[in-house]
């Protein structure tokens, strides 16, 4: 089961259309940018999950606010993020959650990440920065749902994140992911090589999210 595909599959045609309207882009561009954002966020989470403290912190985030229920009404979440055109953390509590996730995962690499994704998707940095906090809760929601409904442990989640990140690096996202990991881990060290999720975990993910 490809974890990035699970994330991409959460974006229905209606949700993509709403996001595209909000940022003034074509659906194809929005989908391409979303793929880059998902990849970046998974890479950042992999960096955190590669240390005991970071993995514990991720577990605490999931316990506090990410049980996967957000996936039951993504259109409602997206609409709440962009309600009245207001997407500021100060005045929109729904948006605040997304901004908080982005800040925690990417730290000071937010704009650099947006620039990289801008180059590959054709969207502006500003458009990417608008999408990031909207898509971030989806990543946490998918992880939370896998943990709660599939009984997948935090060590398994770490393996999924790191394995997905290593595939992304090999698939042309190496520079961006490397920069993010370096920022998260305080240097240029990469997470230790992890085995890909085993067949049992892949089957669990497939059963939860309707894949193979």
Identify the CA nearest to 74 among candidates 149, 150, 137.
Answer: 137
Is residue 156 one of the residues assigned to a domain?
Answer: yes
Is residue 19 one of the residues assigned to a domain?
Answer: yes
Q: Which residues are CB-contacts of 43 (< 8 A; sequence separation ≥ 6)?
A: 165, 168, 173, 176, 177, 180, 181
Is residue 128 one of the residues assigned to a domain?
Answer: yes
Contact 165, 42 (CB under 8 A): yes
Residue spans of beta strands (DSSP E) within the chain = none
Is residue 49 one of the residues assigned to a domain?
Answer: yes
Burial bucket for residue 134 (CB in 10 Å: 0-12, 13-18, 19+) = buried
Count of helix runs (H) and strand runs (E) in the chain: 11, 0
pTM: 0.85
Is residue 63 one of the residues assigned to a domain?
Answer: yes
Is residue 99 one of the residues assigned to a domain?
Answer: yes
- 57-87 pLDDT, tens digit per residue, is 999 999 988 888 999 999 988 887 766 555 5
Q: Can you tell me the distance from the alpha carbon of 69 to that of 105, in angstroms, rounded to the nearest whole number? A: 21
Whole-angstrom CA distances from 141 to 29, 84, 108, 127, 175 are: 23, 24, 23, 23, 27
Is residue 212 one of the residues assigned to a domain?
Answer: no
> Number of structural domains, the chain?
1
The residue range of the domain holding 13 is 3-206
- 140-199 pLDDT, tens digit per residue, is 999 999 998 888 889 999 999 988 888 877 766 667 777 666 655 555 445 554 545 566
- 103-148 pLDDT, tens digit per residue, is 989 988 899 899 989 988 899 999 999 999 999 999 999 999 999 8
Q: Can you tell me the distance from the alpha carbon of 57 to that of 35, in angstroms, rounded to the nearest whole number? A: 25
Is residue 211 one of the residues assigned to a domain?
Answer: no
């Amino acid at each position: 089961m490809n974890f990035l595909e699970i994330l991409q599959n959460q974006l229905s045609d209606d949700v993509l259309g709403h996001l595209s309207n909000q940022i003034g882009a074509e659906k194809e561009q929005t989908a391409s940018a979303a793929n880059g954002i998902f990849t970046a966020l998974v890479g950042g989470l992999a960096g955190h999950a590669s240390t005991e403290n970071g993995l514990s912190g991720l577990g605490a985030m999931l316990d506090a606010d990410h049980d996967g229920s957000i996936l039951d009404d993504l259109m409602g979440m997206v609409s709440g993020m962009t309600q009245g055109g207001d997407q500021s953390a100060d005045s929109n509590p729904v948006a605040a959650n997304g901004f908080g996730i982005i800040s925690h995962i990417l730290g000071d690499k937010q704009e650099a990440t947006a620039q990289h994704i801008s180059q590959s998707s054709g969207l502006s940095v500003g458009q990417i920065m608008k999408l990031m906090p909207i898509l971030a809760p989806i990543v946490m929601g998918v992880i939370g749902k896998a943990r709660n409904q599939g009984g997948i442990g935090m060590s398994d989640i770490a393996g999924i994140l790191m394995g997905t990140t290593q595939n992304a690096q090999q698939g042309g996202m190496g520079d961006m992911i490397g920069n993010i990991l370096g920022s998260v881990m305080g240097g240029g060290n990469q997470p230790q090589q992890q085995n890909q999720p085993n067949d049992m975990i892949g089957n669990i993910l497939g059963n939860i999210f309707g894949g193979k």
